[in-house]
Amino acid sequence: MITIHNLSKTYGAATVLKIDDLTIPEGETFGLVGNNGAGKTTLFSLMLDLIQPTTGFVEIDNIKVNESELWKSKVSAFVDDTFLIGYLTPEEYFYFVGELRGQNKNAVDQFLTPFHDFFNGEILKSGKYIRDLSKGNQKKVGIVGAIIGNPKIIILDEPFANLDPSTQIKLKNLIKELSKQDGVTFLISSHDLSHTTEVCNRIVVVNKGQVVRDIRTNPETLRDLEQYFADQVQ
């Protein structure tokens, strides 16, 4: 379970995030939506202890993320291409991530077998370094790398961006399948309201760093979200 209490991040006179209380239970598929600058990536960065909070804290299974590293073995993420290692081939990167998570090369190779269709024959054995792949293929490497080792919490920032329509569908099916596994929690930030409402059972909307909507996904959620954002431009 992820617990947020009195969490804020301020840069100078600007408060970019302020969330009093938020709880994400184990096994939830949690969607985070909002316009650019709403605070989505800041929230994920605080959850991953990439930046320090101005006030408050994030706890994962009752462990404050900025006070201990014990939570790291159960959490993985792909936020942006800084999580990749550009001078490695995809295979080298997957083996590196696998080693960090206690997986030997054989285990990683077996893990990768079902993803050949997702990779569309363009990533494994391509002879390319990650830095030379297209943005979409880099995204695929980051996403698959994030699920090596069966992490219990998977954080993905804008996972559908830069992916072609066929791969977006494959990714949605992958998220749905993994979320069925016992205790796996997904946190997904996206500008794509349709994809997010399709795969997430809860949607939180942030605006100017604050939670303005917290919705259990239902058949009307997409229409309600589209109307909310349409109202913001009037």
Q: Return the domain boundaries, the chain.
A: 2-232
H/E run at residue 186: strand 185-189
> Do residues 47 and 1 touch, judged by C-beta distance below 8 A?
no
Place of tokens 């790398």: 145
Query: pLDDT per residue over 149-202, tens digit each?
Result: 989 999 999 999 889 999 999 999 999 998 888 789 999 999 999 999 999 999
pTM reported for the whole predicted model = 0.93
Query: pLDDT per residue over 63-118, tens digit each?
Result: 999 999 999 999 999 998 899 999 999 999 999 999 999 999 999 999 999 898 89
> Do residues 138 and 86 touch, judged by C-beta distance below 8 A?
no
Place of tokens 């993803």: 115
Q: Does domain 2-232 have CATH number 3.40.50.300?
A: yes
| Residue 48 backbone phi and psi in degrees, to 5 | -95, 5
Percent of the chain residues past pLDDT 70, beyond the cut: 100
